[in-house]
Amino acid sequence: MSKARSVVDANGVRYELIELLGRGGQGAVYAVRGGRLAVKLVAGRSQRDRERMRNQLTHVRRLPVGELSLAKPLEMLRPPHTGYVMELLTGMVPIRTLLAPPKGETTGVEWYLRTGGLHRRLLVLARAAHTLAQLHGKGLAYSDPSPANIFISEDPAFAEVWFIDTDNLRYESSPGTFAGVYTPGYGAPELVQGKSGVTTLTDVHAFAVIAFQVLALAHPFIGDFVNEGEPELEEQAFAGMIPWVDDASDDRNRATFGVPRGWVLSTRLSDAFERTFGAGRVTPSERPGAAEWAERLFAAADATIPCPGCRGAFYFNQPRCTWCDAERPTFATAVFHLWDPNQGPAGGVLTKPQRGEARPVIVGHGAVTSTTSFIVTRRLAFDVQGPGADEPVVEASLSRDRVSLRSLDGRTYPLFSASGDRQTEVSDRQQTVRLVLGQASWRLHLGEMGRLHRLLSFELRPGRES
Ligand SMILES: [Zn+2]
């Protein structure tokens, strides 16, 4: 298969294969000269293999996935090859490029930051989880998530995500001949043990392995015990017989390598990994679903601030930059609550009882520093999850103790002081207000006062240098 230099599709169009992009559970994907297309070659050249491929492609073309970030299969290849031509966006590379540096380069902070750092890693993973969640919402399983078939922007300034290798898409309930497909190291234990076919739960296991590798640069099941043991141990680990590296109650397989988890995992991400690889190792239903992963990953990305020293992003609950040890700069948290018009006589912030107290429900957060503005997206402002979620609504920037707000979507939003005695508005002309230390002093309403909507407030957190 590796000798194939060119292939011909059903219409007689010839493609020159120029680069192996990745090898998955059942085949290899090659970039094609001229860009924008890729070719997947699979093993098996019999009439039966080809017939099976034809049926799969016919099936996939009928699936309602038109608007998702997936490479659609275009044409079958002519014999002697079995495979197909698919769409590929230019300037995309496999997410595998975030797992380890190219040969000859060392894995270090410099490489981690140069490839986009923590913020971009969280963002591409959140978007990949979101695409999986959209598929799962349609009752479809992707079947074989691996670092070779999730593509991301090659340019670290961007964070687009694109799934290739879509011939395995299938309705979760449908029995089938390819039920057991997976890439070694990414198959869920029940799949490796042959107890289950592919499901949305095997998809999220594979996704979580990739996410852990992208963030922590370690495989969740290859700790010191497996790494230094017999090769059979790795098989056992992939079959779910050995605890994962950060298991909450079993330290048999700890890893002395990888990025310190506190640097790259929020508490809610650590919890999601423990549910996936701890309890979820044995009981698949314990694993968080793809939509929950997307929500937790987006929230983690929103909880980072860029370091003025090294430009790496770090979680703003850390007192110093985790990458270069610089002091955390002055910043303002941006917290989203819900405004409930039926709360009290004039409406109020929705609260929930917590430890005997009524506490405001937090539905999102972000941070503004003096070096980067904070963009309130439609996802944060209106809870939009699908297309248009990344469109900007309001931009906030910080200068000393003043926050400047500007509407970016042509609409005007009311801005109230916390006491309610001062009112102004945020339009496309910049509005600047002064923040009071340790207080959510202003509230930006992202909807009509008579309806349930999100509101945003800022709280200044002084850096130690000021
Ligand atoms: Zn730094």
- pLDDT, tens digit, for every residue of 385-396? 878 888 999 999
Position with higher pLDDT, 429 vs 176: 429
Q: How many Å lie between the centroid of ligand 1 and the Cα of residue 215?
A: 17
For residue 10, is pLDDT > 60? Answer: yes
For residue 3, is pLDDT > 70? Answer: no
Q: How many Å lie between the centroid of ligand 1 and the Cα of residue 240?
A: 37
Q: How many Å lie between the centroid of ligand 1 and the Cα of residue 395?
A: 24
Q: How many Å lie between the centroid of ligand 1 and the Cα of residue 123?
A: 19
Does residue 139 contact residue 172 with C-beta atoms inside 8 Å? yes
User: Two tokens at 222?
Assistant: 């290859």
For residue 4, is pLDDT > 80? Answer: no
Position with higher pLDDT, 65 vs 174: 65
* pLDDT grade for 105, boundaries at 50, 70 and 90: confident
What percent of the chain stands above pLDDT 90?
70
User: What digits encode the pLDDT tens for the residues 28-49?
Assistant: 889 898 878 999 998 888 888 8
Q: How many Å lie between the centroid of ligand 1 and the Cα of residue 321?
A: 5
Predicted pLDDT of residue 439 = 82
Q: How many Å lie between the centroid of ligand 1 and the Cα of residue 218?
A: 22
Q: How many Å lie between the centroid of ligand 1 and the Cα of residue 330?
A: 14
Q: How many Å lie between the centroid of ligand 1 and the Cα of residue 325?
A: 6
Identify the weakest region by mean pLDDT among 39-48, 311-320, 328-337, 447-456. 39-48
Q: What does the mean pLDDT of the chain come to? A: 91
Q: How many Å lie between the centroid of ligand 1 and the Cα of residue 28?
A: 39
Q: How many Å lie between the centroid of ligand 1 and the Cα of residue 302?
A: 17
Q: How many Å lie between the centroid of ligand 1 and the Cα of residue 157?
A: 18
For the beta carbon of residue 168, count every other beta carbon within 10 angstroms: 20
Q: How many Å lie between the centroid of ligand 1 and the Cα of residue 402?
A: 24
Q: How many Å lie between the centroid of ligand 1 and the Cα of residue 1?
A: 46
For residue 405, is pLDDT > 50? Answer: yes
Mean per-residue pLDDT, 50-64: 88
Predicted pLDDT of residue 174 = 58
Q: How many Å lie between the centroid of ligand 1 and the Cα of residue 305?
A: 10
Mean per-residue pLDDT, 7-19: 94
From the candidate CATH numbers 3.40.50.300, 2.40.50.140, 3.30.200.20, 3.10.20.90, the one assigned to the domain spanning 1-90: 3.30.200.20
Q: How many Å lie between the centroid of ligand 1 and the Cα of residue 334?
A: 21
Q: How many Å lie between the centroid of ligand 1 and the Cα of residue 129?
A: 28
Q: How many Å lie between the centroid of ligand 1 and the Cα of residue 323?
A: 5
Q: How many Å lie between the centroid of ligand 1 and the Cα of residue 99?
A: 21
Q: How many Å lie between the centroid of ligand 1 and the Cα of residue 307?
A: 5
What percent of the chain stands above pLDDT 70?
97
Q: How many Å lie between the centroid of ligand 1 and the Cα of residue 272?
A: 27
Q: How many Å lie between the centroid of ligand 1 and the Cα of residue 217?
A: 19
* pLDDT grade for 1, boundaries at 50, 70 and 90: very low
Q: How many Å lie between the centroid of ligand 1 and the Cα of residue 308?
A: 7
User: What digits encode the pLDDT tens for the residues 85-99?
Assistant: 998 888 889 999 999
Predicted pLDDT of residue 179 = 61
Identify the CATH class of 329-461.
mainly beta
Q: How many Å lie between the centroid of ligand 1 and the Cα of residue 263?
A: 12
Q: How many Å lie between the centroid of ligand 1 and the Cα of residue 314?
A: 8
Q: How many Å lie between the centroid of ligand 1 and the Cα of residue 111?
A: 14
Query: Long-range contacts for 52-59 (Cβ within 8 Å, ≥24 apart)?
Result: 52/177, 53/82, 53/83, 53/84, 53/167, 56/167, 56/168, 56/178, 57/84, 57/167, 59/170
For residue 466, is pLDDT > 80? Answer: no
CA distance 250 to 279: 12
Q: How many Å lie between the centroid of ligand 1 and the Cα of residue 464?
A: 15
Mean per-residue pLDDT, 69-76: 91
Query: Long-range contacts for 127-130 (Cβ within 8 Å, ≥24 apart)?
Result: 127/69, 127/159, 127/160, 127/161, 127/294, 128/95, 128/161, 128/163, 128/207, 128/210, 129/207, 129/211, 129/290, 129/291, 129/293, 129/294, 129/297, 130/290, 130/291, 130/294, 130/385
Predicted pLDDT of residue 175 = 56
Q: How many Å lie between the centroid of ligand 1 and the Cα of residue 381?
A: 29
Mean per-residue pLDDT, 392-418: 95
Q: How many Å lie between the centroid of ligand 1 and the Cα of residue 373?
A: 18
Q: How many Å lie between the centroid of ligand 1 and the Cα of residue 110?
A: 11
Boundaries of every domain in the chain: 1-90, 92-300, 329-461
Identify the weakest region by mean pLDDT among 405-414, 436-445, 457-466. 457-466
Q: How many Å lie between the centroid of ligand 1 and the Cα of residue 306?
A: 8
* pLDDT grade for 66, boundaries at 50, 70 and 90: confident
Mean per-residue pLDDT, 423-449: 92
CA 146 to chain centre: 14
Amino acid at 306: P
Task: With CA atoms as reference, report the closest residue to 84 among 123, 52, 131, 120.
Answer: 52
Q: How many Å lie between the centroid of ligand 1 and the Cα of residue 128?
A: 27
CA distance 286 to 275: 6
Identify the CATH class of 92-300.
mainly alpha
Predicted pLDDT of residue 172 = 78
Q: How many Å lie between the centroid of ligand 1 and the Cα of residue 436?
A: 27
Position with higher pLDDT, 421 vs 399: 399
User: What digits encode the pLDDT tens for the residues 162-205?
Assistant: 999 888 898 876 555 456 788 999 999 999 998 888 999 999 99
